[in-house]
Amino acid sequence: MIEAGAPAPDFTLVDQDGGHVSLADFRGRTVLLAFYPADFSPTCTDQLSVYQDRLGEFEERGVQVLGISVDGAFCHKAFQRHLSLTIPLLADFHPKGEVAQAYGIWSEDFGQSGRGLVLVGPDGTVEWSYLSPPLEVPDPELVFAALS
C-alpha cells in the first residue's frame, strides 16, 4: 500500500454520472480516497453508508470523500441511488483496477481493490493510508485522528 510522503498518483476516472473526475481537480484540498471492493456487497454497503452518515464531519474538516471501486458508472449510479449517497463514486473499471494498482491496494487473487483509505493532502502528497482487513469497515475516526 502506498505510504505517507509519497506523491499521490494522479488519475482521471468516470463518476456515477458519466463525468470525468481527476485527482488534480482537488489540488489545494484534502481528499480521502475510499477504495472498496464492490458495489452492493454487504460490507461495502455498510462502509459507504457510514461515510455518508458522517459526511458533514468530513466536510467540516475540509475533506472531500471519493469512493473508488472497479464497478462501472452504471452500477455506481444504481448503488448511489439505492443508498441515497452524495459521495462521488469513481469507476476504476477500464483498464480494470489501474488506480488501485497505482496505490498498492489491488488484489490480483480477487480481481478487485482491497478495502483501504488514502488521505491526500492539498499539495498532492499522501498524508496517511490504511489497509483494512477484508470484512472490516474502516471507522471514520481513523481518518479524523490522522488529520489531527
Active-site residue list: 44
- Taking the C-alpha atoms of residue 91 and residue 14, their distance in angstroms, rounded to an integer, is 6
97 φ, ψ to 5°? 75, 15
Paired residues of 67 in beta bridges: 34, 89
Q: Measured between alpha carbons, how far is 97 from 93 in angstroms, rounded to an integer?
A: 6
Q: Burial, 48: exposed, middle or buried (Cβ in 10 Å; 0-12, 13-18, 19+)?
A: buried
Phi and psi (nearest 5°) for 116? -155, 165
How far apart, in Å, are the Cα atoms of 19 and each of 9, 101, 138? Answer: 20, 22, 27
- Please check whether residue 26 is in contact with residue 58, taking contact to mean a CB–CB distance below 8 angstroms: no
